[in-house]
Amino acid sequence: MLPEPDHHTVVTHWGSYRARFADGRVAGLVPIEEDPDPSPLANAMIDALDNPSRILRPAVRKSFLEKGHAAGGKDRGAEPFVEVSWDEALKLAAAELDRVRTQHGNGAIYGGSYGWGSAGRFHHAQSQIHRFLNCIGGYVRSVQNYSYAAADTIVPHVIGDKRGLVSQHTSWNVVAKHSELIVMFGGLPRKNAQVSSGGISRHILQESLARAQRNGAELVSISPIRDDTVSDPQPYWLAIRPNTDVAMMLGIAYTLMAEGLHDRTFLERYTTGFERFLAYLLGETDGVAKDADWAAAIAGIPAAEIRNLARRMAAKRTILMMAWSLQRADHGEQPYWMAITLAAMLGQIGLPGGGFGFGYASVNGVGHATPEISWPSLPQGDNAVSDFIPVARIADMLLEPGGAYDFNGERRTYPDIRLVYWAGGNPFHHHQDLNRLRRAWQRPQTVIVHDSWWNALARHADIVFPVTTALERNDIAASSRDRFIAASHRLADPAGEARDDFSVFSGITEHLGLAHRFTDGRDEESWLRYLFTLARQRAAAAGHALPDFDTFWKSGFCLLPEPDHQPPLLDTFRQDPEANRLGTPSGRIEIFSSTINRFGYDDCPGHPAWLEPFEWLGSAQVQDFPLHLMSNQPVSRLHSQYDSASHSRSMKIKGREVIRLNPQDAKARGISDRDIVRVFNDRGSCLAAAILSDQIRPGVVQLSTGAWYDPTDPAAEMPLEKHGNPNVLTCDKGTSRLAQGPSAQTCLVEIEPYRGELPPVTAFQPPLFEARQHNSQ
Ligand SMILES: Nc1nc2c(c(=O)[nH]1)N[C@H]1C(S)=C(S)[C@@H](COP(=O)(O)OP(=O)(O)OC[C@H]3O[C@@H](n4cnc5c(=O)[nH]c(N)nc54)[C@H](O)[C@@H]3O)O[C@H]1N2
Ligand SMILES: Nc1nc2c(c(=O)[nH]1)N[C@H]1C(S)=C(S)[C@@H](COP(=O)(O)OP(=O)(O)OC[C@H]3O[C@@H](n4cnc5c(=O)[nH]c(N)nc54)[C@H](O)[C@@H]3O)O[C@H]1N2
Ligand SMILES: [Mo]
């Protein structure tokens, strides 16, 4: 038995909280006192527990229940559901999985199942589904993520591994103490640093920025959106055109060269291939000198500003920070490669407060000095299927089975998928060009989904299992980007008949005679005790004593100290580049990569380069679609999670998501503040509520992600989306043949006032249910 907690604690992606109860029910989540800048997102979890969009019982798409996979996928998303018993749903899912693996092999099951799910080491949906699918013979997986796929692929080619992207960033403590100039490509959005996958102890962005400014650091924000960085005094704002940062950085690099401000010694000792890049920079290879005037014309920033910034960068201890958003765009590999190249020219890599780092505010925890403990998670087992896809190529895969594509030097073929199984993510949130995804989604024979709410993913499934939320189960949380381990206590009974993912998978494996293999004979409590034992051993090995499980469980939260030693990124490489060679072929920073050059990709040549995106403010498409859409992360929720709760809904206007645009662009279109507008391009259209704001560069509009997809007619080919989901507008194209990452931030649109009758938002209502027909089995 688990001991009764002294304080009920819950850990979420947006922070750690103590529960407040009233009348025997959880009534509030109070941030832990250690957190200096807590996020308000948590309370949404309480009112979403039992709101009308909650999935209460297992359900099956009507014609799928009647005809099985012979029903075909055409009407997926447009049909009523029939609620069924747990036993029937589990049996049906088991039979479908068994049919597909027997007839087509496990390579016909896609379990990429990308998404954030909830915090917690045991009830971690991704670990659960992967363990389950491995148990039944394997599945086609996905590699990379939507957050930083292009970076994930390019950065190791340049510096040998993912340091400065996923780990070993120069800590905020060191930045605050030593950096004199902080140049922020994509700003440092406080809204984004609300969250971190796996949980948070302290939100550190605001206090870190304040400390840096108190120490005299100058802040420069290069972003189409001014209020991306909240600080006092405000940063100097350079309102760049979206997707043109490489051109601007080339203009800076050219200035450094022209004025002899680059660090020759550093380039010679620590890098390879600078001459090849230099020939391009100076225009020897293509006849175009990439000077500040050239850059200014592309990036929309005055040449004098570019030159001035180059000089300040060279004169001061400068760190280049770059948001993940910059690489979620066509040719997203290039800004990352170019940022490292520029940092190398400045010669401060490996020095305290100098160099580069990616994602400092993309999530909380980047730059948090943390102990090195590899926290345990649910073991996933081995996958007997070796096939995979780059995660954002899902629609391509479903639309073109057998189709060939390039990926990081390989020529690969898409598998022929018959069954898609999803738990802990929402492709109808995260994928680009949802009209295309809907076409692709008709192709598989069977779609099985676990979720807690009737969002668009659940509506587009054949078999839907209702699962518990983090408040309805016990778990342990810890994160490699933080320095805590905590209990996450069950605070409420499951809504309706919801069960946790573990129980669903246990139930299906039972029908397949594999239950013991999946559960290992453990229930929730024994898994938690087992995982904590591992955590305690690993913490001890790193010099940290954790209490015994029962003491831990009662008190709820352990905060570990920051390590004393906080070396700057790549400091040992700087000290001795021979003894500490990088993992690149040359052992050095590769400004020119022979490996990539050998791939022969026109969309990712051998050195960083300005490559025009498929659409941008300088392209011909502006004649029809003159505005660049930034679909950045939402302030009021995590992706699509908790959009149906009051916090997110309170920020909508007439039920629609807000699109921000510059007053100048609004005036030219006869749009006033709070007007409902139609946003459109060739790929789709949606409604949104206009807010006029001088925080947005003219020519740019901002519609954050996460409004639940809500088509006016779910059976139509290209329905008007009536709620404000930007992914009906974005383009589903890989960043390049190298990384094949998502390119959501490359998107042009037009906007007009919406004069028609306003259709009601229906995304938060459950779908239609029908009673079972007598002739079905
Ligand atoms: N246009 C555009 N699109 C983008 C982006 C962008 O910048 N612009 N950003 C991209 C990025 S970086 C990301 S990471 C993705 C995010 O995309 P996702 O991570 O897919 O989005 P979420 O809304 O977090 O989806 C999580 C789903 O899991 C469910 N869930 C939560 N807990 C559990 C659980 O315990 N079990 C189960 N079975 N389900 C659970 C939630 O209800 C929700 O439906 O979006 C991407 N999409
Ligand atoms: N509240 C909240 N926080 C979140 C999330 C959430 O859903 N809600 N999602 C989390 C996830 S999964 C991730 S991956 C991170 C993502 O973190 P990021 O990718 O860093 O975040 P975004 O909000 O997409 O973009 C940040 C800012 O970059 C700027 N930007 C966009 N394109 C360009 C460009 O071409 N050039 C320049 N210079 N600037 C540009 C925009 O002004 C934008 O507001 O956020 C995380 N944080
Ligand atoms: Mo992400």
* Domain residue limits, the chain: 59-146+385-471+496-521, 149-370+572-599, 620-753
What's the pLDDT at 63?
A: 97
Number of residues that make up the chain: 777
Using the predicted structure, report yes or no on whether residue 179 has a pLDDT greater than 90: yes
User: Distance from the CA of 637 to the center of ligand 1, in angstroms?
Assistant: 11
- Nearest C-alpha neighbor of 601 from the set 410, 418, 321, 340: 410
User: Distance from the CA of 198 to the center of ligand 1, in angstroms?
Assistant: 13
CB of 48 shorter than 6 A to ligand 1:
no
Residue among 17, 114, 146, 280 flagged as catalytic? 114
Q: Which residues contact 620 (CB under 8 A, 6 or more apart)?
A: none
SS (H, E, C) 311-347: HHHHHCCEEEEECHHHHCCCCCHHHHHHHHHHHHHHC
What's the pLDDT at 776?
A: 45
CA 500 to CA 296: how far, in whole Å? 54
Phi first, then psi, for residue 519 (nearest 5°) are -85, -20
CA–CA distances in Å: residue 651 to residues 658, 690, 762: 8, 12, 17
What's the pLDDT at 772?
A: 84
Model confidence at 773, pLDDT cuts 50, 70, 90, reads confident
pLDDT digits (tens, 9 = 90+) for 348-395: 999 999 999 999 999 999 999 999 999 999 999 999 999 999 999 999
CA 391 to CA 145: how far, in whole Å? 6
- Fold of the 59-146+385-471+496-521 domain: Rossmann fold (3.40.50)
Q: Which two tokens stand for residue 520?
A: 């290992």
Q: Which residues contact 628 (CB under 8 A, 6 or more apart)?
A: 224, 241, 242, 243, 616, 617, 699, 700, 701, 747, 748, 749
Average pLDDT, the chain: 97
CB of 639 shorter than 6 A to ligand 1:
yes
CA 226 to CA 320: how far, in whole Å? 18
pLDDT digits (tens, 9 = 90+) for 614-653: 999 999 999 999 999 999 999 999 999 999 999 999 999 9
Of 14, 192, 647, the residue with max ligand 2 atoms within 8 A of its CB, to mutate for a pocket test, comes to: 192
CB of 117 shorter than 6 A to ligand 1:
yes
Burial state string for 196-232 with b = 16 or more CB within 10 A and e = fewer than 16: bbbbbbbbbbbebbebbbeeebbbbbbbbbbbbbbbe
Q: Which two tokens stand for residue 146?
A: 């939507």
CA–CA distances in Å: residue 195 to residues 239, 444, 455: 26, 34, 21
Q: Which two tokens stand for residue 323?
A: 């948001």
Q: Which ligand 1 atom lies nearest to the CA of residue 423?
A: 38
Q: Which ligand 1 atom lies nearest to the CA of residue 730?
A: 1
Residue among 14, 17, 116, 270 flagged as catalytic? 116
3-state secondary structure of 258: helix
CATH node for 620-753: 2.40.40.20
Helix axis angle, 86-104 to 501-511, nearest 10° = 60
Task: Name residues contacting ligand 2 (CB within 6 A).
Answer: 147, 185-187, 189, 191-192, 194-195, 222-225, 228, 240, 242-243, 245, 323-326, 328-329, 362-363, 630, 632-635, 638-639, 745
Nearest CA to ligand 2 atom 6: 638
Helix axis angle, 245-258 to 303-315, nearest 10° = 60
Give the pairing type, strands 318-322 and 181-185. Answer: parallel
What's the gap between Cα 710 and its chain centre? 22
Model confidence at 688, pLDDT cuts 50, 70, 90, reads very high
Model confidence at 37, pLDDT cuts 50, 70, 90, reads very high
First to last CA, the chain: 41
Give the pairing type, strands 419-423 and 446-451. Answer: parallel
Kind and range of the H or E run holding 690: strand 685-692
Q: Is 553 a catalytic residue?
A: no
Is the CB of residue 704 less than 8 Å from the CB of residue 633?
yes
Q: Which ligand is closest to the CA of 470, given by its number?
A: 1
Burial state string for 35-60 with b = 16 or more CB within 10 A and e = fewer than 16: bebbbebbbbbbebbebebbbbbbbb
- Nearest C-alpha neighbor of 427 from the set 727, 49, 686: 727
Q: Is 17 a catalytic residue?
A: no
CA 177 to CA 213: how far, in whole Å? 10
Is the CB of residue 86 less than 8 Å from the CB of residue 497?
yes
CA 33 to CA 38: how far, in whole Å? 9
pLDDT digits (tens, 9 = 90+) for 465-509: 999 999 999 999 999 999 999 999 999 999 999 999 999 999 999
CB of 730 shorter than 6 A to ligand 1:
yes
Give the pairing type, strands 318-322 and 355-358. Answer: parallel
Q: Which ligand is closest to the CA of 429, given by its number?
A: 1
CB of 146 shorter than 6 A to ligand 1:
yes
What's the pLDDT at 775?
A: 53
Nearest CA to ligand 2 atom 9: 633
Residue 233: cis peptide before it, omega within 30 degrees of 0:
yes
- Nearest C-alpha neighbor of 60 from the set 459, 568, 425, 521: 459
Q: Which two tokens stand for residue 605?
A: 């040549």
Cα Dmax for the chain: 83
- Give percent of the chain above pLDDT 90: 99
Handedness of CA 484, 209, 636, 742 (dihedral sign): negative
- Nearest C-alpha neighbor of 712 from the set 753, 675, 756, 762: 762
CA 533 to CA 531: how far, in whole Å? 5
Instruction: Give the DSSP letter string of 17-74.
Output: EEEEEETTEEEEEEEPTT-SS--GGGGHHHHTTTSTTB--S-EEEHHHHHHGGGG-ST
pLDDT digits (tens, 9 = 90+) for 105-151: 999 999 999 999 999 999 999 999 999 999 999 999 999 999 999 99
Give the pairing type, strands 748-753 and 627-630. Answer: antiparallel
- Kindly report the CATH class assigned to 149-370+572-599: alpha beta
CA 387 to CA 438: how far, in whole Å? 24
pLDDT digits (tens, 9 = 90+) for 196-220: 999 999 999 999 999 999 999 999 9
pLDDT digits (tens, 9 = 90+) for 334-347: 999 999 999 999 99
